[in-house]
Structure 1
Amino acid sequence: MVDAGRDLRLAAALVALADSLGETFEVSAYLGRFADDCVTLLGADAAGLLLVGADAEVSLVTSADPTGRVRGLLEIQHQGGPCLDACASGEAVPPVRFAGTEAAERWPRLTERALRERMTVTCAVPLRRGETVIGALNLFANGRPEHVRIQLELAQLLADAAAIGLAQRRIHDDCRALTTQLQSALSSRVRIEQAKGLLAERWGVKVDAAFTALRAHARRARRPIDAIAQELLEGRLDDGALEADRPSG
């Protein structure tokens, strides 16, 4: 029987993951909501995310975690855990029971902490965009192992959707930064051209001579030529101050 309510929640989660281009977008809020959705949709009791930035800086985000236990389970994984394994391999880490020998052998410190926090099962999937892995989603359950049914395939699809959302946000931010730089460069060029024309008209010289004076004055003052041009246009710098840099002849 189709669970219409669950399908709607899944659709809403996917729409939220696609919505990463808004003016008020904030990465930690985006991932926090994603972690909460994973708990709701995947049958987990807690979820955490490890995100690796372009500068190799690691960020941790969890689902609702009033006591900090999930964050603790993520932080201890610098000594080993499914998050690191998923990031390193780019592949999912299937559910592992903390009470079994496998977990104790692979991640002894994490296993000890998880059992103390009454977590029984964990798994992880990478956040990946193509061949690029930018982090991992770690799921925890505290029910009896036979009752835990974490859907790893769906977890991977959601993680891939989150990675795509983050990647398109990064592209968006890079494009905005480039546009701002280009606009600034264009505005600067326009100001310099206007200042050249102003000096050329006042002095009765060619614009090349006016530009030479602007550039020489900027170098002597050790200031950007754009700043000199701006002050000249606004009347905060008298053209007489540039006379010493005016080409002869």
Structure 2
Amino acid sequence: MHRSTRDIRLAEALVETADTLVDGFEAVHYLPRVADHCVRLLAARAAGFMLIDEDGTVSLTASGTHREVALDLLRAQRGGGPCLDSYSSGRPVPPVSIGAARAAARWPEFTERALAHDIAGTFAVPLRRHERLLGALNVFVATLPPETASPDDAASDDGTELRLAQLIADCAALGLQNHTAYVQCRTLAGQLQQALSSRVRIEQAKGMLAERWNTPADHAFVALRQYARRHQLPLDRVAQAVIDRVADDAELRRGARGGDDGGRA
């Protein structure tokens, strides 16, 4: 079956966009690459993302292609624009003629800046995962002379372009959410491993002291805990000192008998 260059580019874009389960991932580098894929696939002049955190903090990122143009147009949407409309409604903003939008007094600041950059049209799609909105993807297009556009790059129809943009945005949202879950899992796994290692050290030190002093393990644990409290040290740090045989044995034995609640590790 024949596959066009555009099909292959789309497959490459989706694979790269989904590849976020890695250490060292940074959205500031990831999203511009996704925006560059949009530019190539949609025959656009530039593209950019507007991310909006749950606390309302806005961050902007743009394609490497005409990056300053995209950033300027994203900043110009403070008073309204396709990104904010898409984010507010949770729905795509279909392709809009900049000239028509200006004539209708729609997004005044944005349309003025777009015309200054020779942008002929724009559209936006929400960046979302299920019901959670993360922001919006904005695509900026300019009229190109027919001879400069190849069949693979030319837009087939507005509906197709909008659906492609939404597909890429959905994949980017999935990538961002997956990386967040990945980081949370890695953090939890690290905390659990640390807790397990600490427990092992404490049990090992308790056993060493019990054998050395010929005393019940509970008494050895009390000695460890009282020593840690007296010296305001983490219990597993004291346990490590016992294992390394650098702890003051006489000071430890002060707590080996008497008076404590005898709690277990």
TM-score, normalised on structure 1?
Answer: 0.89
- Tell me, yes or no, if structure 1 residue 226 matches structure 2 residue 233: no
User: 1:212 maps to what in 2?
Assistant: 222
Cα pair distance change 1:96/1:18, threshold 3 Å: same
1:170 corresponds in structure 2 to 180
Give the corresponding residue for 2:253: 243
Of residues 178, 187, 200, the one that matches 2:197 is 187
Aligned equivalents of 1:55, 1:101: Cα separation in 2: 30
Report deviation, 1:77.
2.1
Indicate yes or no: 2:68 matched with 1:58. Answer: no
SS in 2 for 1:22: coil
Whether contact under 8 Å (2:224, 2:239) holds in the other structure is yes
Give the match's secondary structure for 1:59: strand
Aligned-partner Cα distance in 2 for 1:122–1:241 = 75
The aligned runs of 1:107-126 (5 Å cut-off) are 107-126=107-126
Match of 2:89 in 1: 89
Q: Within 1, Cα distance between the matches of 2:240 and 2:184?
A: 28
Contact 1:104–1:111 under 8 Å retained in 2: no
Task: State the AA in 1 paired with 2:120.
Answer: T
Assess, with a 3 A threshold, how the Cα gap between structure 1 residues 226 and 53 changes in structure 2: closer, same or farther: farther
Q: Which residue of 1 aligns with 2:100?
A: 100
**Is the CA contact 1:96–1:102 (under 8 Å) kept in the aligned structure 2?**
no
Letter in structure 2 aligned against 1:42: L
Higher share of residues assigned helix: 1
Q: How far apart are 1:29 and its partner, in Å?
A: 2.2
Q: Deviations over 1:156-210 (max 9, x none)?
A: 1111111112211211111111111111110010011111111111222111111
Q: Quick one: structure 1 residues 75 and 231, their matched pair in 2 at CA, closer, same or farther if it must change by over 3 Å?
A: farther
Distance 2:192 2:66 in 1: 45
Query: CA offset at residue 240 of structure 1?
Result: 2.1
| Map of 1:79 onto structure 2 | 79
Q: CA RMSD in A?
A: 2.3
- Give the match for residue 200 of structure 1: 210
Give identity over the alignment, percent.
Answer: 50
Partner of residue 163, structure 2? 153
Read off the aligned partner of 2:60 and give its amino acid letter: L
Aligned residue-pair number: 246
Other structure's SS at 1:127 match: strand
For 1:162 and 1:67, the matched residues in 2 are separated by 19
Which residue matches 2:40?
40
1:28 aligns with 2:38: no
State the partner residue of 2:262: none
| Deviation at residue 100 of structure 1 after TM alignment | 2.1
Q: 1:18 to 1:40 in 2, by over 3 A?
A: same
SS for the counterpart of 2:135 is strand
- Taking structure 2 as the reference length, what is the TM-score of the superposition? 0.84
Unmatched runs of 5 consecutive residues or more in structure 2 = 145-153, 260-265
Q: Give the deviation of 1:51 after TM superposition.
A: 2.0
8 Å Cα contact 2:102/2:111 also seen in 1: no
Take 1:103 and 1:70, find their aligned partners in 2: how far apart are those partners? Answer: 22
Residue 60 of structure 2: SS of its match in structure 1? strand
